[in-house]
Amino acid sequence: MTVTVFYCDGSGLPMPYTVTVLKHGCCRDLCQALATACCLKSDEVLLLAEVYEHKIYRYLENPLEPLTSIKDDEHIVAYRLKSGARKTKLEIMHRWMDNMKGGERKLFGTPLVTYLVEDPQYGANIESSVQKMLAPLRRAYSSTKSHDGKENGFISAGSDEQSNISTTQSEPRNLTSGSREQEESSCGEPSFQLVLTSESCLSCEPIEKASFIKPSQHIRVFLDWTDKEHELYDANYLRDLPEVHKTGFSVKKTRQEAISLFSCLEAFLTEEPLGPDDMWYCPRCKEHRQATKKLDLWKLPEIVVFHLKRFSYSRYLKNKLDTFVNFPIHNLDLTKYVKSKDGESYVYDLYAISNHYGGLGGGHYTAYAKLIDENKWYHFDDSHVTPVTEAEIKSSAAYVLFYQRVRNKDQME
């Protein structure tokens, strides 16, 4: 099962984990497996929840709840909480303004959950908690605007300063965050556009810093994202929540139509016209002309690696592709695709798979590999290694496929 774990104290980024649990187990078994996978501390507990249409549909707080109640295409998250006394549960849902539909507010992403210990509650408490929860999503930001490689306070790709981001990112991030938070909190206006809502999410009441929040065991708020929030925080970490995909159940491989590996290969080798932005300069005509591009396979090596395109980018959208690609495990025959007719056969067997779970904002990698000497497949998930059958290794999470050429006796001699 794949579950995304969120930090309720804002100390880390959300991360999906794939764990193995008993088919007829319960939520307690799932929590124990997740606790091991995410290195849960002794003073922490996990709160399971199902996310549907960007809202918390239900909390799985009963440890004896059977796992059969969780469907394969559902989205399950786990919130890391400090154990001990907890007073008020704060649920933060995210909205954006759709200007194409008259400024209608629409939900997106995964809700954040934490607990408030202050009593009584005011808008300032809510805002402080939201700020803390969003802290890991904060972009590397520079408040100084200049034209020497920086645009709108961000370091551009061509800047010499970019090479220093990886080694110094955490320090300026914290310093900038603190100074900006002080600057925002010093003025009277709230830093975020927060709206108090009800369980049905029908009522809306704007929250100010001095707003008194009526005592309740469960407070739900909308965080309305503006250009400012999108500039400061990377919302991609809240998107692309993976489905459960329970192995051993009747797994729904994908929401999209399945395709074969051969279809992908043929599309890769198909002649395609180049667009207006990729015009070819003809040395004879001395003009740019539209051309076509064609790739062919002349010869193939002993090891062939297929890197499936799982991420789609355009000017406005970034998307994770979860299409199930049906690939052969044995006797992948690529002979007909090889242009050099040398009389050899190019037949391959699969020996390893790299899987990716999650989305563009964050994800988790696992692998399947075949131990040739034992003729057995194993699942590798960080430090956890478990045996699996060939029937279990195909899924829509397959990202990179590794094949080795099969040699007959004549070819080996």
Instruction: Please give the mean pLDDT across all residues of the chain.
Output: 79
Residue 304 has pLDDT above 90, yes or no: yes
Predicted confidence at residue 103, as pLDDT, reads 75
Averaged pLDDT, 54-75: 87
Residue 280 has pLDDT above 50, yes or no: yes
Predicted confidence at residue 46, as pLDDT, reads 93
Predicted confidence at residue 352, as pLDDT, reads 97
Which position has the higher pLDDT, 274 or 170? 274
Predicted confidence at residue 411, as pLDDT, reads 55
- What SS3 class is residue 306? strand
Predicted confidence at residue 85, as pLDDT, reads 59
Residue 97 has pLDDT above 80, yes or no: yes
**DSSP letters of 214-256?**
PP-SEEEEEEE--HHHHHHB-GGGGS-PPP---TTS-----SS
Averaged pLDDT, 288-302: 88
CB 82 within 8 A of CB 114: no
User: What are the φ/ψ torsions at residue 259 (nearest 5 degrees)?
Assistant: -130, 165
Nearest to 78 by CA among 111, 53, 108: 111
Least confident of 179-188, 203-212, 314-323, 380-389: 179-188
pLDDT band at 318 (very low <50, low <70, confident <90, very high): low
E strand map for 65-123: 75-82, 88-98, 104-116, 121-122
Predicted confidence at residue 101, as pLDDT, reads 65
* CA 148 – CA 24 distance, rounded (Å): 60
Averaged pLDDT, 152-180: 37
CA of 370: how far to CAs of 20, 89, 201, 325, 350, in Å?
Answer: 19, 46, 50, 20, 8
CB 378 within 8 A of CB 386: yes
Residue partners of 217: CB distance under 8 A and separation at least 6 = 87, 88, 89
| Host H or E run for residue 176 | helix 170-186
Residue partners of 328: CB distance under 8 A and separation at least 6 = 261, 350
| Host H or E run for residue 401 | strand 398-405
Nearest to 349 by CA among 381, 384, 393, 304: 304
pLDDT in tens, 190-238: 478 888 888 888 888 888 888 888 878 889 999 999 888 888 888 888 8
Predicted confidence at residue 69, as pLDDT, reads 85
Averaged pLDDT, 168-188: 40
For the record, the structure tokens of 285 come out as: 């005509």
Most confident of 57-66, 92-101, 134-143, 255-264: 57-66
Residue 96 has pLDDT above 90, yes or no: no
Residue 310 has pLDDT above 80, yes or no: yes
* CA 354 – CA 361 distance, rounded (Å): 19
Averaged pLDDT, 50-65: 90
DSSP state of 101: G
pLDDT band at 82 (very low <50, low <70, confident <90, very high): confident
pLDDT in tens, 120-155: 678 788 888 898 889 888 876 534 333 333 333 333
Least confident of 56-70, 97-111, 135-149: 135-149
* CA 370 – CA 385 distance, rounded (Å): 12
Residue partners of 241: CB distance under 8 A and separation at least 6 = 4, 51, 75, 77, 110, 359
pLDDT band at 172 (very low <50, low <70, confident <90, very high): very low
Give the other-Cβ count within 10 Å of 401's Cβ: 22
Averaged pLDDT, 265-280: 82
Predicted confidence at residue 413, as pLDDT, reads 52
Least confident of 25-39, 184-198, 399-413: 184-198
For the record, the structure tokens of 40 come out as: 């849960």
Tell me the percentage of the chain whose pLDDT exceeds 90.
24
In sequence order, the β-bridge partners of residue 194 are 223
Predicted confidence at residue 21, as pLDDT, reads 85
Give the other-Cβ count within 10 Å of 95's Cβ: 18
* CA 387 – CA 379 distance, rounded (Å): 6
Which position has the higher pLDDT, 140 or 30? 30
- What SS3 class is residue 206? strand
Nearest to 84 by CA among 52, 106, 59, 117: 117
Residue partners of 412: CB distance under 8 A and separation at least 6 = none
